[in-house]
Amino acid sequence: MGKLKLWTRQDERVLKDIETRGFYRVKQEHIIEKFDSCSDVYLHVYRWYSRSAGAVVPKPEGVEFPVWASVDKEFSLGVIEGQVVLELEVDSADVIIMDSAKWDYILNYWYIPKDRDDARRYDEKLESYGIRNKTLMYMNNFYPLLKREVEKSWERLFDQDIRLSDINQATLWEIKSEWITNITRAE
């Protein structure tokens, strides 16, 4: 077990929370504030992620949702007005690293294939149903078995042998003050 360097862009208010409590944890109201009218779309997959990821790295008591971070400074979000970029050094045991493309599939409510043959098989299945829009298929209630198949495929997010891209991202359950090694603010 070693240390990982991570970068996360957060609202400046997160720093105040860390200064006051010694840590920061994402709450549902933060997601609703950030995503506004689209928050239900994100909350659905974030709830799934929180349940599933909690089995990979246990959640501390009181944690609702993960904090997202970059594992590569090159792919981290830049600092903007009202935000800060926190550079963190965290024990690897406290971090889940995943293929970014697989998470994008989940955000779009898509099936994560095991491999190319599985992707082709799944696409043929959707075609046989006359389904052209994978996201809408999931969002409506007409295909409960296909919907379950999609959700089951999301478990592949945690399988490091299944890759859709070469870009990784990370989550952790909280940001502790002692993990912060640098703070970048907008100039």
Q: In a structure prediction context, what are the per-residue pLDDT tens digits for the chain, which is 187 residues long?
A: 699 999 999 999 999 999 999 999 998 887 888 888 878 888 999 999 999 999 999 999 999 999 999 999 888 888 889 899 999 999 999 999 999 999 999 999 999 999 999 999 999 999 999 999 998 898 888 999 999 999 999 999 999 999 999 999 999 999 999 999 999 998 7
Pair 175, 24: CB distance under 8 Å: yes
> What is the value of pTM for the model shown?
0.90
Q: Where are the domains of the chain?
A: 3-178
CA separation for the pair 119, 123 (Å, rounded): 6
